[in-house]
């Protein structure tokens, strides 16, 4: 297994190279550049072509595409992630500023959705066909089909505007106040994100559990005279766990990449929000860095999934 992990980690390096080039290419193909986004359209008519090309030169945008990519990649390899084109803040500062907010929100959502999703899904499967199961299925369907932004806005409308129980958005900076001051800000986005994720985990674990309970080995376990809890959990749930782990694993990248929509709706100062702003402004060094972080997170998550499934299911062999 160790060789497998090492090999996979080694593959990550060339993959990051290729993906970084593709993202860079994609950015190059979009019309306009960072400068055209920096200038107010009203001022644009009064700016001469010389001034524009001076600005481009200052930002290094006048060089050819390959040249810029080469400069960028060499800098990154030397540990210099560059500066944001808009504002000139070092990108590493931006990322480390935003990462805790995203981590905090996604971590809460993933932990909650995993625990509640599995519990409800298994419960639903064990009570198949009952009123509880049917209502949970309906709730799960709604959770999957209603878009996050809609759900988030409704939650804002009810709890923040009408009832005024919770703040409408944003997040106090860490260290600014105690955790108790920050908690109210976390409740709504955390709740909405967790709820959407729970719905998915619930439906997934329900069907995985039903599938595993219908297998022959459940009958064998029963024929051995084992008590029902042991049949359901030690035999049934253990086998149902593999697909559920895969689903949860695929969500791990949100820890770093953030949930773009939820962060937008709640003005959560996380990576996802920053990413949207960077793409809009064609702030390519920032887009590149966030994209690379996300890609790295996805690659790591799939490695983690592979290792975990191998640990849970002895039939999976990593070599």
Q: Which residues bind another protein (CB under 8 A)?
A: 215-217, 219-228, 235, 238-239, 312-315
- The full length of the chain comes to 319
Closest CA to 246 of 199, 303, 287, 285: 303
Which residue, 33 or 313, is less far from another protein as judged by CB?
313
Which residue, 37 or 219, is less far from another protein as judged by CB?
219
Give start and end residues of each alpha helix (H) in 146-215: 148-155, 179-213
Q: What is the closest distance, in whole angstroms, from the C-beta atom of residue 148 to another protein in the complex?
A: 35
Contact at 8 Å (CB) between 125 and 232? no
Main-chain phi, psi angles of 194, to 5 degrees: -65, -40
Contact at 8 Å (CB) between 170 and 264? no
Which residue, 128 or 182, is less far from another protein as judged by CB?
128
Closest CA to 213 of 311, 122, 292: 122
Which residue, 95 or 241, is less far from another protein as judged by CB?
241
Q: What is the closest distance, in whole angstroms, from the C-beta atom of residue 242 to another protein in the complex?
A: 8
Which residue's structure tokens are 């625990």?
115
Q: What is the closest distance, in whole angstroms, from the C-beta atom of residue 258 to another protein in the complex?
A: 35
Which residue's structure tokens are 């009952």?
130
Q: What is the closest distance, in whole angstroms, from the C-beta atom of residue 317 to another protein in the complex?
A: 10
Q: What is the closest distance, in whole angstroms, from the C-beta atom of residue 313 to another protein in the complex?
A: 6
Contact at 8 Å (CB) between 110 and 248? yes
Q: What is the closest distance, in whole angstroms, from the C-beta atom of residue 306 to another protein in the complex?
A: 17
Q: What is the closest distance, in whole angstroms, from the C-beta atom of residue 8 to another protein in the complex?
A: 23
Which residue's structure tokens are 């905090």?
104
Closest CA to 271 of 258, 261, 286, 281: 258
Beta-bridged to residue 83, according to DSSP, are: 90
**In this structure, which long-range contacts are made by residues 220-227, counting pairs with CB atoms below 8 Å and at least 24 apart in sequence?**
none
Which residue, 93 or 228, is less far from another protein as judged by CB?
228
- For 110, half-sphere exposure in the C-beta direction (CA atoms, 13 angstrom radius) is 20
Which residue, 172 or 312, is less far from another protein as judged by CB?
312
Which residue, 46 or 315, is less far from another protein as judged by CB?
315
Contact at 8 Å (CB) between 266 and 156? yes
Which residue, 53 or 220, is less far from another protein as judged by CB?
220
What's the CA gap between 298 and 310, in Å, rounded? Answer: 18
Q: What is the closest distance, in whole angstroms, from the C-beta atom of residue 118 to another protein in the complex?
A: 17
């Amino acid at each position: 297994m160790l060789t497998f992990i090492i090999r996979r980690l080694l593959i990550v390096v060339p993959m990051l190279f290729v993906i970084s080039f593709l993202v860079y290419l994609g950015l190059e193909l979009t019309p306009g550049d960072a400068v055209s986004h920096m200038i107010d359209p009203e001022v644009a008519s009064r700016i001469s072509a010389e001034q524009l090309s001076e600005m481009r030169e200052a930002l290094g945008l006048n060089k050819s595409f390959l040249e810029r990519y080469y400069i960028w990649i060499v800098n990154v390899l030397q540990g210099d992630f560059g500066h944001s084109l808009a504002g000139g803040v070092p990108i590493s500062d931006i990322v480390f500023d935003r990462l805790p907010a995203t981590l905090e929100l996604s971590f809460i959502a993933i932990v909650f959705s995993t625990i509640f999703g599995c519990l409800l899904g298994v419960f639903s499967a064990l009570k198949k066909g009952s009123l509880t199961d049917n209502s949970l299925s309906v709730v799960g369907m709604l959770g999957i089909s209603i878009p996050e932004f809609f759900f988030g806005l409704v939650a804002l409308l009810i709890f923040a505007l009408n009832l005024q129980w919770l703040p409408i958005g944003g997040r106090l900076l860490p260290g600014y106040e105690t955790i108790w001051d920050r908690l109210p800000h976390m409740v709504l986005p955390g709740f909405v994100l967790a709820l959407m994720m729970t719905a998915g985990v619930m439906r997934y674990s329900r069907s995985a559990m039903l599938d595993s309970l219908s297998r022959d080995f459940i009958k064998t376990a029963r024929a051995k005279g084992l008590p029902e809890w042991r049949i359901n959990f030690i035999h049934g749930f253990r086998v149902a766990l593999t697909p559920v782990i895969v689903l949860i694993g695929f969500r791990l990248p949100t820890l770093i990449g953030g949930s773009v929509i939820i962060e937008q709706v709640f003005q959560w100062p996380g990576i996802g929000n920053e990413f949207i702003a960077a793409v809009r402004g064609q702030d390519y060094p920032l887009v590149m860095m966030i994209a690379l972080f996300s890609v790295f997170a996805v690659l790591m998550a799939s490695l983690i999934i592979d290792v975990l499934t191998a640990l849970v299911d002895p039939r999976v062999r990593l070599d």
